[in-house]
Amino acid sequence: MSQLESEQEVAAVRAFNRFYTRKLGVLDQQLLKSPYSLSEARVLYELAHRHDLSAKQIGTELGLDAGYLSRIVQNFDEAGLITREPLPSDRRQYQLALTAKGRQTFAKLERSMRDEVGAMLAMLSHDGRARLIGAMAEIERLLGDVSAPLRPATLRDPRPGDMGWVVQSHGAFYAREYGFDSSFEGLVAEIAAKFLASFDASRERCWIADIDGTQVGSIFLVRHSDDVAKLRLLLVDPAGRGQGLGHRLVGECIAFARACGYRKITLWTQSNLVAARKIYQEAGFKLVATEPHRSFGQSLIGETWDLEL
């Protein structure tokens, strides 16, 4: 990464932070025109939702300077918002708790926050709200604890806009990982368009894998003949990996094909798609044919895999 690119990225993050803090009303360290700073509101939140907290615990978990936290605690104590008792194990440390006045104060602040955020979300369409929540979840995932377990993906039917995501995601992923040219994205677009134009709900299905409103995977099962179904467009985004999502998607296809009365599922893939081939093999598919070809700007070996049902 060049110095210019690094500076531009840092500037973009800082610009977003300024925008977001303005949007939430926390500039000048005042939250929603209340007498409390953002840090003070965070301390109130922790005390309202957890018990037996010491000042040291709060400071450590919220990343607050000990001197600054001490001033917050002193102000809350003088205002009658908290009680503080020396810990039996260490008389130098205090256990904090909200008083009745403190709980009333927090409840009022919480209502203001809920109303403010609700009003902001009400300005957006249903799709806009879903995209916003999904983007927030992605930021949290990227900047959060990488060792934390992933939220499990939900498998759902496609919604308006999902087919565009399928096309774009396949095009970008295969260009980045395998050097495929735009003709591959064109093929995906044709498959998606045909699915929409001639969809037979009794014998065909598309599943979209979703984590917190963000698409992270897809798979299609379409009619090839009366007895044969075709598995197409399996994709698991990097954001959805690590939870066996590819196996889940293929498993849904197999179960649906059996319920529809198909006798076989067939699919076409490439020999260099190692992860996908492993999923198919573990699901019981057998490699039945190979053929070298030149497609998508690459020299490839196409493979046909079948699963007898």
Same domain, yes or no: 158 and 137:
no
Which residues, at least 6 apart from 92, have a Cβ–Cβ distance to it below 8 Å?
Answer: 86
pLDDT one-digit tens code per residue, 53-73: 788 888 888 777 888 888 888
The answer to whether residue 163 is domain-embedded is: yes
Same domain, yes or no: 228 and 293:
yes
Decide the pairing of beta strands 228-236 and 214-223. Answer: antiparallel
Which secondary structure element, helix H or strand E, spans residue 4, and what is its range? helix 3-24
Q: Give the end of a domain, one of 109, 143, 177.
A: 143
The answer to whether residue 281 is domain-embedded is: yes
C-alpha 266/C-alpha 223 separation (Å) is 10
The answer to whether residue 174 is domain-embedded is: yes
Q: Is 298 exposed, middle or buried (0-12, 13-18, 19+ CB in 10 A)?
A: middle
The answer to whether residue 91 is domain-embedded is: yes
pTM for this structure?
0.59
Same domain, yes or no: 110 and 224:
no
The answer to whether residue 295 is domain-embedded is: yes
Q: Give the end of a domain, one of 143, 169, 193.
A: 143
Which residues, at least 6 apart from 296, have a Cβ–Cβ distance to it below 8 Å?
Answer: 174, 180, 181, 183, 184, 187
The tally of domains found in the chain comes to 2
Angle among Cα 45, 46, 50 to the nearest 5 degrees reads 120
Same domain, yes or no: 235 and 296:
yes
Q: What is the mean pLDDT of residues 285-309?
A: 96
What domain range includes position 34?
Answer: 3-143
Q: Which two tokens stand for residue 188?
A: 């995906």
Q: What is the mean pLDDT of residues 162-181?
A: 94
The answer to whether residue 149 is domain-embedded is: no
Strand order in the sheet with 205-211: 154-156, 205-211, 214-223, 228-236, 264-270, 298-308, 286-295
pLDDT one-digit tens code per residue, 8-67: 888 888 888 777 766 665 544 445 566 777 788 888 888 888 777 788 888 888 777 888
CATH classification at residue 106 = 1.10.10.10
pLDDT one-digit tens code per residue, 208-240: 998 878 899 999 999 999 999 999 999 998 878
CATH classification at residue 286 = 3.40.630.30
Same domain, yes or no: 158 and 303:
yes
Residue 307 has pLDDT above 90, yes or no: yes
| β partners of residue 304 | 268, 289
pLDDT confidence of residue 257: 95
Alpha helix segments (H runs only) across 239-273: 245-260
Output the CA–CA distances (angstroms, integers) from residue 293 to 137, 184, 241, 269, in the order listed. Answer: 41, 14, 30, 12
Which residues, at least 6 apart from 136, have a Cβ–Cβ distance to it below 8 Å?
Answer: none
Q: Give the end of a domain, one of 143, 168, 196.
A: 143
Residue 261 has pLDDT above 90, yes or no: yes
- Residue type at 197 in one-letter notation: A
Q: What is the mean pLDDT of residues 130-140?
A: 77
Q: What is the dihedral of CA 234, 238, 239, 245, to 10 degrees?
A: 40
pLDDT confidence of residue 241: 82
The percent of residues in the chain predicted with pLDDT above 90, rounded, is: 46
The answer to whether residue 53 is domain-embedded is: yes
The answer to whether residue 18 is domain-embedded is: yes
